[in-house]
Chains A and B, each alone.
Chain A
Amino acid sequence: MEKEIPPLNDLDALILETLKEKPERELSYLFTDTLLQKVERRLRWRELFREFALKVGIVTGSLIILLLCLIFPGREASRPFLTLLTANWQLVTGFGLLVLFTFFSDQVLLKFYYFKRPISPEG
């Protein structure tokens, strides 16, 4: 079989034709689905975190109001309670953080990981 030898201009034409050709390799057919799942998870995380921040804000705000009421001048009856709190501030802080973490785990982490599903071709 004889070789087909293209003339000079054919080489340029061939180069141009090849340059305009799409690569044979393509993105996997799951590309968009995988990406969407990642984005949905990010949105979910953002939403859960916003809800959590809102709840923490409400609880913290309520506690601050309660404390302000307790230390309001003239309320001598609350003095022993405040003394107890300040004397055991480490314990109180630790307890607060524990509550916060439990709350965070329950409201954010568990919900988030429950939402996370494996990616399968069936969708």
Chain B
Amino acid sequence: MDDATLIVQVQAGNTHAYRFLVEKHKNLVWHIALRLIDRQEDAEDLCQEVFLRVFRDIGKFRGESRLSTWIGAIAYNMCISHLRKKGKEIMVPVDDYTPVIRGKTVRESAERAMDRASMKKLIHRLISALPVQYRTVITLFYLEELSYKEIEEITGMPDGTIKSYLNRGRQMLREKLVQLAPDIYPVLIFSET
């Protein structure tokens, strides 16, 4: 079923079409919400709100972008509003990136990062500690495999900013890993200095 038909069906109150729409786009919304909000319960509640908003506002969709981009933009804006309501800083300066994860420093976690799986867990934790704007573009680009244009439509960030956030985000993760796990990566430390 193409987007246009789906929209018409949802507008007509066809719940089967709506179920199809939710199943098709729920991962996109979930990934945005989870990466931006982190708390599972809040993220899931927000996903519900996003899809209820989609149902309410589907008549306003003009078809100027893909339906997934439009839904993604709703999810992103609602997450940002949620974070603002909770008093979270959205545009955190890069220098303030000092991840502390669930009461213990990342350093402690890094010291235990012996194998690849643990390293991945650590990277996931570092990602969730990145500033919001970095997490957003990283999620949309790598996880959802969206183009720069689509990310621009969702977030409203200019093309250059998106590229910069992607590069800087990766660099921050790399620097933090190297900094936090020197005993595990002596080769890396040597190469860095």
Contact = CB atoms under 8 A, between A and B. Distances in A.
A31 B52 contact: no
A54 interface: no
Given A5-B184, A25-B34, A31 B120 contact: no
Nearest to B55: A39
Interface string A28-46: 1001101110111011000
Given A11-B177, A28-B44, A36-B19, A18 B188 contact: no
A30 to B, nearest CB: 10
Given A27-B30, A40-B15, A19 B114 contact: no
Contacts of B188: 8, 11
A21 B47 contact: no
Contacts of B116: 4, 14
Given A27-B44, A39-B15, A15 B123 contact: yes
B83 interface: no
B120 A16 contact: no
Interface residues of A, number: 33
A38 B186 CA distance: 55
Contacts of A39: 15, 18, 52, 55
B124 A23 contact: yes
B46 to A, nearest CB: 11
User: Secondary structure at chain B's binding surface: helix, strand, loop or mixed?
Assistant: helix
B164 interface: no
B26 interface: yes
B180 interface: no
Contacts of B191: 8
B61 interface: no
Contacts of A14: 116, 119-120, 123
B170 interface: yes
Given A8-B188, A11-B174, A21-B120, A42 B55 contact: yes
Nearest to B128: A23
B97 interface: no
B49 to A, nearest CB: 10
B162 interface: no
A27 B15 contact: no
A23 B84 CA distance: 24
A12 interface: yes
B187 A23 contact: no
Contacts of B30: 26-27
Interface string B156-193: 00000000000000100110011000001111100100
A35 B22 contact: yes
Given A19-B142, A21-B120, A31 B47 contact: yes
A43 B13 contact: yes
Given A11-B177, A27-B30, A16 B47 contact: no
Top 7 A-B pairs, shortest CB-CB distance: A19-B142, A18-B123, A18-B120, A20-B142, A27-B30, A8-B191, A32-B22
